[in-house]
Structures are given as structure tokens and as C-alpha cells.
Structure 1
């Protein structure tokens, strides 16, 4: 089951956060845009599992389409809608893994030689990194939108804050999975020092930075811990040493 979760999580992460540009998100009310996104979900899920005509994969794509349609037409845009949408997608992925536990074993990739046994592990790591950085960025951005509207922060480099967020969440994800969670404290300290001069005299700016930082770090840590938990059900990731 863990292999199925790893494969479908990667397909979902790539479809929703790498291959869904802003124009597609804005035009989701157009049926052809919604169908195009569902087709991407279907193709990536088929590729990740090594199944072309599985009814479970077709059903997953159909449910993804339905969830997105409900969110687009009925939900009010914001953080709550985003979290509910993602929770629904993850619930569908978990449901498929539970109801069709042989999807991985009957797929193309299960027949690969033994040296490819860690493929699901790589899929899970890639999915976790995308979710920590890109999905985390969307969530933090939605959280901070209200604060920015009430008291806009000082302007910096174009997309500078977004890039910093990607980097810090990616570093936290890597540090935790490499067995160095205590190093995240140094990131918090470094960011606090670098931001001190800009926000020390501005209470609103200080609170804005603190809220954004804690949310960003918290999402990255939660994602890394979830990946660690799921990885316990996968073959160990073995990196061969140099050949003598």
C-alpha cells in the first residue's frame, strides 16, 4: 500500500503544483480547463503506477475532477477552501490505496529489476519536497493574504519572499529527513537576525514575519514527518558506496 501512496502522491503533487499554472487556476470555471487538468492527473497517475486502463486510476481522476469542480463553483476562495480541497484529494488517494492494494504489484514498475526496488522511496521523497515547497507556499500565501491586505509589508525584491519560502521549507525538509532536525533551529535564528533590522521598529511588520515564518516552518516540518512515517512501509533507500 505504501508504494501506491508514494506513486499517487507524486502524481498529485506534480499535477496540482508543477503542471497547473496560474492561468489554469484562474480559468477553472471553464469546462475545458477543468477537463485538461483532470487529464493531466490521469496521465500522471497512470505513469506513476504503471497502469494504463485500471478502473481505479480512472475513478481517481474522475473524483479529482469532481472535487475541483465543487471547489471552483461552490467554495469561497481562501485557505479553508484550499485545505479542504487538498484533504479531499488525499482522502481519495488513501481510499484507492486501501481498496486496491495490489495496484503496485500488478503495474509495470513492479517488474523492474531488484536494483529499482527503491523507486517508490524516490517518488515519496520527490512528492514530499514538492508539497513542502510549492503546496506550502500556496498555503502560507493564502494565510498571509488577509494580513497583507490590512497592513501591506514593505516592498522587497520581486517574488523575493516566495523564493525565500521555497528555500527555507526545502532546507527544513532535507534536514529532517537527513536526521538533523536540530539544524532547523539555526535557520530560525539566521532568519531572525537577517530580518531584525527591517522589522525591529515596526510591530505590524514583526508580527507579519513571525506568523509567516512559523506557518512556513510548521508546514515543512509536518510534511517531513509525514514522509518519514510513510517511508517506514517502503524498502529502505540504499545508496551504494564507491566500487573499489
Structure 2
């Protein structure tokens, strides 16, 4: 469809303009000088030109309409990047920045193609089905609730290992503890996604990959108790996520499981 082609080109232009046509020096200067940075205006000008070219080449809009939509993208990009330059630079800021840019692009595309009403209708909460809600619940369950359950189930063994040197060193290191928690989150998100996509073989690959990287180090330390503890935690995490995934898939029966 021509409309979707235009949207894809606009997003492609944003990716090229933000990540391939923006030197690191421009970013550093924007963070240091904010609105006084000349490179900030060069950067948004690049996005304006890319957007204008996309509308001229891939839409049936008139010249003035193409120019108007390009200016909307340009000034919105300027405002978003300016706000970002005053914010703390971390992953959340980066994701919010990119999401804001993409929302503006989609909104401009919807205005240009006359699909603004359809877009608002699509985003209406009244259109959320019980299948979609069950999938959202599934992803939420495999994050923090599952971590709490796993911690409770492993508590008898974790107490026994608490006084051992290696485990104590790990627990006193907040960064490593936080990293382990995030690894567990990502692991369970991947498992649930594979189940919903009916890719059970990928779960076996994930378990094998984790065994190679994790258990290989432990075996070199000849720490049998620690190896068994990690194995127990991994299998518990996998089991909980698989059970949740099967329940969610059973509810959202239109998904490809069993087909």
C-alpha cells in the first residue's frame, strides 16, 4: 500500500538521520551547549530535508503540504532533542526520545494520508481484546512476580549457601545482583515470546546457551553446590515461564500454538 510505504520511508529516514547522519561531535556539542549548539540546528535540518524528500517522492501531496509536514517534523525534532539535552542521559531517556520522534512521524503520516481518525480508533482502549490483555498479564507475571516466587522457592538453599565465600561476594555486589535480576527478566521474556510464537526449539537453544556460558565457569571453580543452585534457579525460572506461557496461549487461542 502506498500509505504504508510512505510510513516506512519516513521511519527509515528518521533512523538514517538520527544514527547515521549525526556525528558524535554533534551530540556532544548539543549536550554541552543545548540551544546554543549550531550542530543541533544542522541535525534537525537534516531531518527536515529527509522528510521533505520522502513526502515529495512517495506521496501525492502538494508542494506546500509537503513543506508543512516537513516543518512539523523539523520543529518537533528540535523541541524533543532540546528537552533531551537537559535530561539525564540513560536508557530511559533514549527510549523516550525515540518513542516521541516515532509518535510525531506516525501522527504526521496519519494527517497526510487522512488516517488520523483510524489511528485514534485503533489506539482506543475499547479495542483491547481479552486475548491482548491476557498476553500483557503474562509478560507482567514473568517479571517481578516470578522473581519473588523463585526467591521464595530457593530460600532454603540460598540460606545454606549464604555463608560461602563465592555467594557472599556476589550478594554484596549490588551491580552483579542487579545484573542477575535483569538477566532473569530477559530470559523469561524470551521464553514467553518463543512460546507465543510456537518456537519451542528456541527455548532449548536458550537453555543450552546459558548452560555453556554460566555452568562452564562454575565447573572450572569445582563448586558443585553452587552449580546445582544455579541449575535449580534456572530450571525453576524456565518452568514458571513455560506454565504461564501455556496458560496465556490457551486463552489467546488464535495464536499459532498447536497449528
TM-score, scaled to structure 1 = 0.46
More helix by share: 2
Q: Over alpha carbons, which structure has the higher Rg? A: 2
Higher relative contact order (CA 8 A, sep 6+): 1
